[in-house]
Amino acid sequence: MGSNTITLIFCLGGITFLTNWIYLLSVYVKDKGITLNTAGKLFKLILFCLVTSSIGVLFTGVLFVSALMIAHG
């Protein structure tokens, strides 16, 4: 298994996670009617999303690469 293939699969896992996260976050903010009227609230939301997304991207990427390695030996 080539290094480029593993990198591509890792990136696809991360993109999949981020797409789902952005969609779910937009639905949540829209349904709850959350207003980000202060810079503090906006900063906290961005920081929370950044930390959660970073952990999720790494976990999903590792999961995708692990599945690839198990499937193709």
Which residue shows structure tokens 């690469």?
Answer: 65
- Cα–Cα distance for residue pair 69/64, rounded to 1 Å: 9
Confidence band (pLDDT; 50, 70, 90) for 1? low
Distance, in Å, from the CA atom of 4 to the CA atom of 71, rounded to the nearest integer, reads: 17
For the chain, which residues make up each domain, given as ranges? 3-72
Inform me whether the pLDDT recorded for 6 exceeds 80.
Answer: no
Q: How many CB atoms lie within 10 A of CB 71?
A: 7
Tens-place pLDDT, residues 29-63: 777 776 667 778 777 877 887 788 788 778 877 88
The answer, yes or no, to whether residue 5 has pLDDT greater than 70, is yes
